[in-house]
């Protein structure tokens, strides 16, 4: 009897659940606290994700980040059932099918005409009375819930297609959003415009080309309380690096005003990057900040006109960062929480309310471009020749494309575009998606790496250079050009069709050799991509590239800025240091960001940073450098490396380098960063440098300036020394008593051993690192260093250029070999062969 009662109870529960599901499936209005990520068929991807976050992340504190709750503005969804009711009750389905009969998406004029006709029919149709009433009542109820006068309730009205934002198909940006909507009439019109946007030219083309049935996809509409970002700021956030697919960072773009200008690429926004593994440990792990130009913003318009308007941004606001460090970190924590909840990288939109001072998440969707990539094939595009650079901007992707340039000014010219051409424009209007997929590359004046042009180009797998500023003037229609995004974060548009190649590396079943293979790196813009090449970290990270390419100014010119008499020089420095409170902050922070990215890319493997090793002639080429650098007959053997760091004429500049390293280790939490002293001629010099480092916050175990507290668990700083002068090897034990390891600089060791000037081509034929004298020194170093318990590595091309030299190093027991990224795979195979010959 009991079992019978239990069975009946279960049956009744199932019946009630089925009735509830049926009621939800037919409901025209569902609130955010009633929907979740499984409800995409009912309310579309955008609404389903808003409901999911509102219910699960906005109401409950995160376990990973105690005390953190995500803020999501409340609202409701006009459902897919409501859309179907509208389409069928108004007779639109039959009309739309007739209009789209025989459509050829490659025929741009035909696509434009049919698309316009469909949208006109939708906008002219009337809502069924019952649906109109429900929408009005929901708007009024939202005002009540938020305790606002319904005449003052401003909402964002966003489309949410039922096939949008699926993990394997990005429909992002295919439908429209309408901001600052007030009152019943404006709301109903905005919803109708959202519905019509399901049939924009690009959306029709997108579905046809991907074999989606127009009427198997429905549209839901999100009606959400506006965040007053018109008085604040807004932007987008990805929980990975959008170019390389590197998973350990959060990438944030930010600009003033409403968010449409960032998404559509109208402005070049600020860009911030945060390292997730140390963020989770409580560190302030901002590893990059770039100031965007942010020339204009979108704000609320006055009564009786369009809901929004474009206005210029003041010069003061253009020259300052949109977000504070704490806001950057808060958004990053939220991004990490959202990613953890969904279990995959996410593409997120955020807004900052200028009235309340609060941050909000207003959209989230799975990231789809990098998520679709997989396999063990590493593809690398390599330029084989260089030419005249017509313009530069932010590189999107790491590919190279070429063709005839074609400047498209507006939608009226779209039909003129031919397959294989390079699209050049101010910004890409979303309506241009049909021609974007025909382009070999895209070049824009405006926009950042998360703009519409960037997102679409990534999805299409073509290179784009965005935010050039002058592309439409510098690149002429009909001119053959090569668009290169394979040379770092800066993309270049070259004149003519230049030679390049695509190298493919199959890493399936790859097993590293016993000898540790590390990398030689310098450019922070490339290292996330390089990190996928099998490696054990970085044996040589060069500071010089960061200083020359991102700082550009001699440190002494910043230290002595107030004493500079040259007004033009000061103006040049002011322009580069915009956004920073002081000139010294600029140097320390910029250097720390560059170093931080290098350390983050290979975390938790060790990254050995060599302090600056510019020669006097190289330092003189920096802005203001000629004021502080002497002229030397042979800079290669002059004032370089260790001898600069304790010199009164450079000690303050070296202190800035120490502060940058301290910031990376202690503030960003990148304890895998180690340091290295170049060109240290004597143990006495080494001791002086360690004392200067300790004085500037980098104490070393051999130079104790303070006792660590018992609770201080920070790893001690390791300081290595370059072995590139015979004295380093003749006095191994003396140097070894000061430092934690040796790194052979084979080029300088060859120079100093054989008396060769590396800059002189005349004597270059005399010898290289294979010379017996050089090899004898290396053999002696490895043997004696191992006896005192220190490791020895080598940095240079020798092991990849000379297989027998690599075999020699392996035979002598070298601990690690560091290589340039482009030679790692080739050299690794040679090193494995050498190990096999020796029976290792």
* Active site residues per annotation: 452, 795
Q: Are 319 and 291 in contact (CB under 8 A)?
A: yes
Alpha-carbon dihedral angle through residues 503, 507, 510, 512, given to the nearest 10 degrees: 50
Q: Is residue 633 exposed (0-12), middle (13-18) or buried (19+ Cβ within 10 Å)?
A: exposed
Neighbouring residues of 264: CB distance < 8 A, sequence distance ≥ 6: 427, 429, 430, 447, 451, 452
Strands 389-396 and 464-466 come out as antiparallel
Q: Are 774 and 756 in contact (CB under 8 A)?
A: no
Strands 75-78 and 219-225 come out as antiparallel
**CA separation (Å) from 826 to 412, 735, 801, 803, 821?**
51, 34, 10, 10, 10
Q: Are 270 and 294 in contact (CB under 8 A)?
A: yes
Strands 359-366 and 490-495 come out as unpaired
Neighbouring residues of 806: CB distance < 8 A, sequence distance ≥ 6: 798, 799, 800, 817, 827, 830, 831, 834
Distance between CA atoms of 645 and 533, rounded to whole angstroms? 34
Any idea which residue has 């806001």 for tokens? 327
Neighbouring residues of 312: CB distance < 8 A, sequence distance ≥ 6: 295, 296, 297
Any idea which residue has 């010119």 for tokens? 557
Q: Is residue 771 exposed (0-12), middle (13-18) or buried (19+ Cβ within 10 Å)?
A: middle
Any idea which residue has 């977000």 for tokens? 323
Distance between CA atoms of 351 and 158, rounded to whole angstroms? 15
The HSE-up count of residue 243 (CA atoms within 13 Å, CB side) is 27
The beta strands (E) that lie in 655-716 are given as 673-677
Neighbouring residues of 744: CB distance < 8 A, sequence distance ≥ 6: 722, 723, 724, 778, 781, 792, 793, 794, 795, 796
> Can you tell me whether residue 106 is helix, strand or coil?
coil
Distance between CA atoms of 768 and 747, rounded to whole angstroms? 8
Q: Are 424 and 407 in contact (CB under 8 A)?
A: yes
> Can you tell me whether residue 620 is helix, strand or coil?
helix
How would you classify residue 562: left for phi > 0, otherwise alpha for psi between -120 and 50, otherwise beta?
Answer: alpha
- Within its chain, how far is the Cα of 691 from the centroid? 38
542's enclosing H/E stretch is strand 538-542
Nearest Cα to Cα of residue 91 among 126, 120, 116: 126
> Can you tell me whether residue 402 is helix, strand or coil?
strand
299's enclosing H/E stretch is strand 296-300
Neighbouring residues of 639: CB distance < 8 A, sequence distance ≥ 6: 615, 616, 630, 632, 647
Quote the DSSP letter at residue 169.
B
Residue 754: strand pairing partners: none
Q: Output helix, strand, coil percentages for the chain, rounded to the nearest 5.
A: 40, 20, 35
Quote the DSSP letter at residue 611.
P
Length of the chain: 840
> Can you tell me whether residue 158 is helix, strand or coil?
strand
Strands 308-312 and 296-300 come out as antiparallel
Q: Are 836 and 514 in contact (CB under 8 A)?
A: no
Nearest Cα to Cα of residue 368 among 352, 349, 344: 344
């Amino acid at each position: 009897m009991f079992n019978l009662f239990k069975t009946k109870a279960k049956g009744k529960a199932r019946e009630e659940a089925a009735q509830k599901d049926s009621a939800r499936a037919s409901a025209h209005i569902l609130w955010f606290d009633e929907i979740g990520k499984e409800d995409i068929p009912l309310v579309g991807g955008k609404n389903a994700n808003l409901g999911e976050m509102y219910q699960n992340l906005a109401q409950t504190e995160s376990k990973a980040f105690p005390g953190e709750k995500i803020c999501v503005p409340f609202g409701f969804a006009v459902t897919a059932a409501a859309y179907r009711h509208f389409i069928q009750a108004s007779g639109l389905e039959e009309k739309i099918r007739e209009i789209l009969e025989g459509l050829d998406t490659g025929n741009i004029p035909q696509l434009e005409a049919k698309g316009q006709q469909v949208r006109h029919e939708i906008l002219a149709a009337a809502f069924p009375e019952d649906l109109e009433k429900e929408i009005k009542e929901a708007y009024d109820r939202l005002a009540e819930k938020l305790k606002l006068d319904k005449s003052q309730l401003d909402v964002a009205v966003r489309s949410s297609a039922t096939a949008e934002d699926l993990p394997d198909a990005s429909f992002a940006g295919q439908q429209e959003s309408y901001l600052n909507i007030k009152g019943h009439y404006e709301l109903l019109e905005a919803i109708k415009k959202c519905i019509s946007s399901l049939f924009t030219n690009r959306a029709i083309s997108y579905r046809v080309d991907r074999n989606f049935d127009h009427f198997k996809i429905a549209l839901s509409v999100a009606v959400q309380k506006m965040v007053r970002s018109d008085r604040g700021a807004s932007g987008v956030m990805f929980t990975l690096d959008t170019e390389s697919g590197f998973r350990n960072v959060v990438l944030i773009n930010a600009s003033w005003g409403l968010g449409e200008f960032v998404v559509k690429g109208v402005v070049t926004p600020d860009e911030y990057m945060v390292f997730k593994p140390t963020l989770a440990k409580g560190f302030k792990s901002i590893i990059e900040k770039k100031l965007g130009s942010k020339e204009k913003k979108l704000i609320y318009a006055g009564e009786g006109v369009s809901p929004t308007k474009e206005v210029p941004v003041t010069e003061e606001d253009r020259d300052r960062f949109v977000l504070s460090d704490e806001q950057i970190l808060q958004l990053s924590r939220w991004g990490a929480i959202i990613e953890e909840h969904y279990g995959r990288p996410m593409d997120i939109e955020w807004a900052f309310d200028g009235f309340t001072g609060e941050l909000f998440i207003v959209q989230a969707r799975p990231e789809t471009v990098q998520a679709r990539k997989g396999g063990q094939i590493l593809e690398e595009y390599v330029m084989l020749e260089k030419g005249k650079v017509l313009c530069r901007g932010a590189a999107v992707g790491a590919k190279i494309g070429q063709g005839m340039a074609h400047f498209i000014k507006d939608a009226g010219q779209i039909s003129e575009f031919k397959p294989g051409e390079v699209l050049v424009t101010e910004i890409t209007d979303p309506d241009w998606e049909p021609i974007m997929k025909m382009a070999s590359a895209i070049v824009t004046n405006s926009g950042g790496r998360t703009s519409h042009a960037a997102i679409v180009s990534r999805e299409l797998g073509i290179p784009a250079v965005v935010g050039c500023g002058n592309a439409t003037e510098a690149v002429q229609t009909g001119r053959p050009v090569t668009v290169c995004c394979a040379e770092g974060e800066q993309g270049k548009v070259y004149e003519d069709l230049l030679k390049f190649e695509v190298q493919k590396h199959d890493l399936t079943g790859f097993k590293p050799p016993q000898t540790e293979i590390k990398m030689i790196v310098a450019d922070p813009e490339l290292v996330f991509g390089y990190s996928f090449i099998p490696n054990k970290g970085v044996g040589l990270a060069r500071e010089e590239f960061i200083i020359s390419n991102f700082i550009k100014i001699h440190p002494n010119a910043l230290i002595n800025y107030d004493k500079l008499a040259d007004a033009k020089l000061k103006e040049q420095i002011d322009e580069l240091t915009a956004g920073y409170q002081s000139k010294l902050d600029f140097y320390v922070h910029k250097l720390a960001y560059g170093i931080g990215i290098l350390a983050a890319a290979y975390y938790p493997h060790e990254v050995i940073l060599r302090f600056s090793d510019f020669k006097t002639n190289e330092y003189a080429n920096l802005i203001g450098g000629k004021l502080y650098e002497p002229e030397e007959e042979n800079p290669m053997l002059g004032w370089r490396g260790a001898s600069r760091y304790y010199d009164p004429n450079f000690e303050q500049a070296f202190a800035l380098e120490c502060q940058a390293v301290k910031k990376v280790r202690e503030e960003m939490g990148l304890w895998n960063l180690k340091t290295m002293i170049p060109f240290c001629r004597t143990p006495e010099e080494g001791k002086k440098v360690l004392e200067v480092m300790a004085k500037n916050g980098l104490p070393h175990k051999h130079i104790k300036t303070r006792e660590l507290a018992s609770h201080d668990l920070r790893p001690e700083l390791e300081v290595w020394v370059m072995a590139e002068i015979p004295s380093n090897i003749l006095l191994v034990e003396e140097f070894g008593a000061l430092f934690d390891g040796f790194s052979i600089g084979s080029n300088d060791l060859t120079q100093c051993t054989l008396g060769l000037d590396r800059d002189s081509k005349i004597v270059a034929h005399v010898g290289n690192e294979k010379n017996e004298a050089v090899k004898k020194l290396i053999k002696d170093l490895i043997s004696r260093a191992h006896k005192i318990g220190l490791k020895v590595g080598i940095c240079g091309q020798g092991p990849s250029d000379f297989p027998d030299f690599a075999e020699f190093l392996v035979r002598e027991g070298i601990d690690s070999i560091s290589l340039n990224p482009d030679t790692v795979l080739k050299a690794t195979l040679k090193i494995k062969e050498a190990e096999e010959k020796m029976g290792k």
